[in-house]
Amino acid sequence: MLFLRFYTVCCLLFLLGSSTLYAQKHDDFGGDDFEVQSAELQFFAYEKGLEPDGYLQKCLMTRTGAGELPFELVNTRVSPGAMVYEYRERINGFPVLDAVAKVSIPNREGASVLVANSFLPVEKITVETPFEGADAYFLLDADLLIAVKREEVLDDNGLAFLELRDERGEIVMRRLNGSGTGPATAVATVFQPNPITSAETVYGGPFVDNNDETNPFLDAELDTVFLELTFDSADSLYKLINGHVIITEHSPPVIPPTTSENDTFFFNRSDPEFEDVNAFYHITQFWKYLESIGYENDVDEVVEVDANALFGQDLSFFDVIGGQMRISFGTGGVDDAEDADVVIHEYGHAVSFSISPNTNSGTQRQAIEEGFCDYFATSYSRDINSHDYRKVFNWDGHNEFWDGRVAWTNRVYPNQLEMRIYGDAPMWSGALFHVENNLGRDVTHRLFLESLYSYVSFMDMEQAARLFMRADTLIEGGENIPYLAHIFAERGFIEKPVFPAPGDLVGIAANNLSGEREGDVIMMNSAGFTAGAAPVIFENIKGNRLSVVRVFDTNGRMVKQVNCSGGRQCSILPDELRKGFYIAEVLGENGAGITFKLIRL
């Protein structure tokens, strides 16, 4: 590491355990062996009359020994629990990219002041003299801060990138940079949250993409809802525009935004208009949920959405161009905007950018981001229908197109970190679900969103856990600390607290997927399968791939074989077997088999 992390611990902390674009699915990657920057959290007792920059100076004295680093106040935000002042480090009059500090002054008397920062100790590194036209500094490696010129560019897909160019004009870093005349109401058809979940089934049979073709089974899962949108009197059209989301065209293929001459938007999944309506509805609903729990003020910027984008690729992105937030949904495989999990995941990046912009740098910080966006998505879907809620992208993934993800893992931090952004995301989403299963959805969202105000670049999961607990002291008076401390300690984020766990604490074991387990494979829904009401599901709980499931009768004859296509799950529908007793053999890609007893009555 460039420098060591320090923690100034007050009484409260002792109780706690002494440019931007975000992609949605396939490509997983990790950082280097180390980050050239890191984040630090420090806590200070509140001092009457001390200005916010005074706390920052105290922090810098501890971190660098100097306390003379130049900085400027760039933003002030009001959260329900604190006033947050955001500072940016400046050198030679230029901002230092990713070098941000946040000073959080609590509203609650007795709570500590937090200073979170990713400032650079410039006395320990070489600072390049700026060239004409330069407008920022960038830490190229552990000991060299170079002058750069920033430029926002669009690629052929219409996605926004931030390019940094040196004095020679060469690119030294290229980063994905993540109105009407009056309100109106219309009715529309959407999936709630997707056809797999609402039908309480798995991908297969009639519940397949089939090149976007609909069928009676998929149409049966359409739900009629109200849309809060805009009527434009200039052309007498209802348009998918409100104060939170606008359907636009910003990425190929060119498909005009959906409008209607009347107050109905009735489409099915074979229609390109359906994706527009589905994305518009679910983003609006999630914003209304944030409003209901008191966190709408800093998530009130409109996000532009292109629901048929990216040349039909099987990808989705959130990006920012010229300060405007945008989401692009691909249509490869299952159209991404058909699945509310994908819609809410991408909107989760918009929420993050609204509350804590330009802080999503660093491998663990990005894993945290993907984790809480997965949590937002699956918690939203679970609130509608809890079927298989631990899967992320039930309809868009977990099929022949890609494996999808899970929002739950019992891996322990930090020893089981993979240093892959998507691979480590379930460690944080699983922790949030663990909290939700103890404290409820509303409290979990409020605590996380409150902590998000203090996020900085290059944070790790331990720091995210401590900010989460601090949020409880700010808005709940520390009422839930006994639960949070034991939950985060059980997952390895902090040391085990000295005080006992609450008697009603739901631990990791109780949150596990229910079912019969053999080795690394769990068999779920066996009772429903036995009764002929639901498929039996086999899943490798460590995320390893399955090859095939073979079913044998009592005479040892194989009566059924299911190709798992290298996925983490495989299922058998009850009507695929006659009544009787069976042995199911689940094979991994390495050929090793695990057997279960299976009954069909």
pLDDT tens profile 291-305: 999 988 777 789 999
- The one-letter amino acid code at 85 reads Y
When pLDDT is averaged across residues 40-69 and rounded to a whole number, the result is 80
Roughly what angle, to the nearest 10 degrees, separates helices 363-384 and 272-292? 100
Reply yes or no on whether the pLDDT at 354 is more than 70: yes
Choose the most confident range, by mean pLDDT, from 125-134, 219-228, 312-321: 219-228
Q: What Å distances lie between residue 286 and 245, 281, 332, 404, CA to CA?
A: 11, 9, 25, 22
* pLDDT score, position 180: 22
Helices then strands, counting H and E runs in the chain, come out as: 13, 30
**Band (69; pLDDT cuts 50, 70, 90):** low
pLDDT tens profile 458-472: 999 999 999 999 999
**Band (542; pLDDT cuts 50, 70, 90):** low
When pLDDT is averaged across residues 571-584 and rounded to a whole number, the result is 86
Rounded-to-integer distance, Cα 133 and Cα 83, Å:
36
Percent of the chain clearing pLDDT 70 (strictly above): 89
> Is the whole model's pTM more than 0.85, yes or no?
no
**Band (25; pLDDT cuts 50, 70, 90):** low
* pLDDT score, position 33: 38
* pLDDT score, position 26: 53
Residue 254 CB burial class (10 angstroms; 0-12, 13-18, ≥19): exposed
Most distant CA pair in the chain: distance in Å? Answer: 83
Reply yes or no on whether the pLDDT at 11 is more than 80: no
Q: For residues 523 and 535, which has the higher predicted lDDT (pLDDT)? A: 523
Reply yes or no on whether the pLDDT at 32 is more than 70: no
Rounded-to-integer distance, Cα 110 and Cα 106, Å:
9
Choose the most confident range, by mean pLDDT, from 332-336, 509-513, 573-577: 332-336
Reply yes or no on whether the pLDDT at 431 is more than 90: yes
pLDDT tens profile 141-173: 778 889 999 998 887 777 788 899 999 999 988
**Band (489; pLDDT cuts 50, 70, 90):** very high
Reply yes or no on whether the pLDDT at 175 is more than 50: yes
Reply yes or no on whether the pLDDT at 288 is more than 90: yes
When pLDDT is averaged across residues 297-318 and rounded to a whole number, the result is 90
pLDDT tens profile 448-460: 999 999 999 999 9
Rounded-to-integer distance, Cα 46 and Cα 58, Å:
12
Q: For residues 179 and 290, which has the higher predicted lDDT (pLDDT)? A: 290
* pLDDT score, position 218: 96
| Helical (H) or strand (E) element with 317 | strand 316-321
In the block, tokens 């937002």 appear at 376
In 3D space, the residue among 446, 424, 422, 425 whose CA is nearest the CA of residue 435 turns out to be 446
Q: For residues 35 and 290, which has the higher predicted lDDT (pLDDT)? A: 290
Q: Which residues contact 575 (CB under 8 A, 6 or more apart)?
A: 532
Rounded-to-integer distance, Cα 346 and Cα 283, Å:
9
Query: What string of DSSP letters covers 1-47?
Result: --S-------HHHHHTT---EEE-SS------SS-S---EEEEE---
CA 586, 588, 592 angle in degrees (round to 5)?
Answer: 85
* pLDDT score, position 251: 93
* pLDDT score, position 324: 93
Reply yes or no on whether the pLDDT at 111 is more than 50: yes
pLDDT tens profile 237-263: 999 999 999 999 999 999 999 999 999
Q: For residues 418 and 531, which has the higher predicted lDDT (pLDDT)? A: 418
Of 64-68, 118-122, 450-454, give the lowest mean pLDDT range.
64-68
Which domains are present in the chain?
187-355 (3.10.170.10), 364-510 (1.10.390.10), 513-600 (2.60.40.3080)
**Which parts of 214-309 are beta strand (E)?**
222-232, 237-239, 245-247, 259-260, 264-265, 303-309
* pLDDT score, position 5: 27
**Band (66; pLDDT cuts 50, 70, 90):** low
**Band (563; pLDDT cuts 50, 70, 90):** confident
